[in-house]
Amino acid sequence: MPFRMTEMVGCEFPLFAFSHCRDVVAAASRAGGFGVLGAVSYTPEQLEHELAWIDDNVEGKPYGVDVLIPEVQAVDNSVSADAIIAQIPAEYRDFTRNLLRECGIGDDTGAPQGGSQAPNTSLGQELLEVSFNHPVRLIANALGTAPPAMIEAGKKHGIPVAALVGAKEHALKQVEAGVDIIVAQGGEGGGHCGDVSTIILVPEVIEAIEQAGADIPVLAAGGIMNGRQMAGMMAMGAAGAWCGSVWLASPEAETSEVFRQKMVEAGSRDTIRSKHRTGKYSRQLRTAWHERWDAAGLPALPMPLMSLLAEPVLRAIDAAAVAGNPEARQLATYWVGQGLGLVNDQRGVGTIVQDFKTDFAAGFENLAANFE
């Protein structure tokens, strides 16, 4: 196979499937893509369990893990999760409690929970160690510059380290830090993102890396939902595509049936870049959740406080939405990019990978027709 990614990480087709859900990861890899498990929210024990499951279900195909080792933290990581939660201001707790009560979701659920782990450096390193006990072929760092410990661990185990960036300047820092693969994610993508769009960011990052004298492949991310777009980004010089949103409408995904239906119904203009989930800008389905925060006039809390407050509440909302609560259905949201405008149905992960391959060839044909 001529794909550079095949050499580096062993996948047949350079379609990277980022997911928080092991089922998506295994199915994408089995179909010839490359699943990457987002492990940020796991404890080391949970991650061990998930990776063991993937090993049993991936049929020997390659996969990777995405962890988060933050460079700087909003809170001291020597304090307990409960002590961190205690820093959430009372008016924020009141707001979420009242929101749940008003919508009939109950006022006992949704309180910030000590069981949620705030990302921290030592946790990230533990997750890395767990990962290296499995046949992972890629380690990715979700946010910020990959720290030296990660780069060294990757080199020691002979596993490439990838880093996500949303700006050219960040890409150059990552290259200097020694990463092996850059994932350049445009602002149209779901989750944490900048505001430069994919078709500008990817060529900009490729050019900057070349000018820095480095030879680091760049994966295109942000808005890629089909193989024609993937072909287009590879015409622009990308070594493959890194996708997250496209898997969310699959039955295998961690999303609720309610959210998957909302994805199919929503258009490309129905997302928002909001701080009201993690404390940093991340793109999400725009719902009553964001309207309510805006109306309350409460600015987002910093990382990780915002997540510690929001995640249990949003899980309670999801559960109520699935149980048929119409107000909860209005509130339900999740990270997703503008590409949801290209989602017309719920397809299985294996089907999506196969469709990508077919459309990738069709994209090439679109272009080749001009050279006949």
Where do contacts with a second copy occur on this chain (CB under 8 A)? 2-3, 167-169, 186-188, 194-201, 203-204, 207, 222-226, 228-229, 231-237, 267-269, 338-339, 341-342, 361, 363-364, 366-372
Q: Which region holds residue 333: left if phi is over 0, alpha if psi is between -120 and 50, else beta?
A: beta
Smallest gap from residue 145 Cβ to a second copy (A): 18
Q: Residue 219: enclosing H or E segment and its boundaries?
A: strand 218-221
Nearer residue to a second copy within complex by CB, 5 or 28: 5
Q: Do the Cβ atoms of 329 and 321 come closer than 8 Å?
A: yes
Cis peptide before 304 (omega within 30 of 0): yes
Smallest gap from residue 192 Cβ to a second copy (A): 16
Nearer residue to a second copy within complex by CB, 3 or 95: 3
- In 3-state terms the chain splits into helix, strand, coil percentages (rounded to 5) of 45, 15, 40
Smallest gap from residue 66 Cβ to a second copy (A): 23
Nearer residue to a second copy within complex by CB, 358 or 366: 366
Q: Read out DSSP for 165-203?
A: ESSHHHHHHHHHHT-SEEEEE-TTSSEE--SS-HHHHHH
Smallest gap from residue 205 Cβ to a second copy (A): 10
Q: Is 122 exposed, middle or buried (0-12, 13-18, 19+ CB in 10 A)?
A: exposed
**Residue whose structure tokens are 């990508």:** 356
Smallest gap from residue 223 Cβ to a second copy (A): 5
Smallest gap from residue 194 Cβ to a second copy (A): 7
Nearer residue to a second copy within complex by CB, 114 or 341: 341
Of 172, 174, 180, 175, nearest in space to 154 by CA: 180
Radius of gyration of the chain (CA): 20
Nearer residue to a second copy within complex by CB, 86 or 362: 362
Smallest gap from residue 140 Cβ to a second copy (A): 22
Tell me the sheet residues that pair with 271: 285
Nearer residue to a second copy within complex by CB, 167 or 296: 167
Q: How far apart are the first and last CA of the chain?
A: 24
Smallest gap from residue 286 Cβ to a second copy (A): 11
Strand pairing of 271-274 and 282-285? antiparallel
Nearer residue to a second copy within complex by CB, 120 or 226: 226
Smallest gap from residue 204 Cβ to a second copy (A): 5
Nearer residue to a second copy within complex by CB, 9 or 225: 225
Strand pairing of 138-141 and 181-185? unpaired
Nearer residue to a second copy within complex by CB, 105 or 238: 238
Q: Do the Cβ atoms of 333 and 127 come closer than 8 Å?
A: no
Strand pairing of 218-221 and 240-243? parallel
